[in-house]
Amino acid sequence: MIKLIFYGLVIYLIYKLVFELIIPVSKATSQMSEKVRQMHQQQQQFQQQQARQAAEPQKAAKPTSDKDYIEFEEVKP
């Protein structure tokens, strides 16, 4: 009878250990790894956007000298 109570107590403790410690820790670990992966993707997208924005003004900043020059004729009195 004492063996039966002992085995029941051991099974209960193992059950509590598995369902209150091991499973929640594994769920939290998987959730954290997913969030880290999402943050990494967002950071890469942000860096790509910054790189595109930094490259665009360089293309638009090239002034053309033809448009800056105004031709005129000298008038003699």
Q: Round to whole Å and give the CA distance between 9 and 15.
A: 10
Residue 50 in 3-state DSSP?
helix
pLDDT in tens, 21-69: 999 999 999 999 999 999 999 999 999 998 888 877 655 555 555 567 7
CB neighbours (10 Å) of residue 59?
A: 7
Determine, yes or no, domain membership for 25: yes
Determine, yes or no, domain membership for 24: yes
Determine, yes or no, domain membership for 7: no
Structural domains in the chain (count) = 1
Determine, yes or no, domain membership for 28: yes
How much is the pTM? 0.52
The pair of structure tokens assigned to 23 is 């499973």
Determine, yes or no, domain membership for 19: yes
Q: Round to whole Å and give the CA distance between 28 and 25.
A: 5
What pLDDT, on a 0 to 100 scale, did the predictor assign at position 61? 52
Full residue range of the structural domain in which residue 17 is found = 12-45
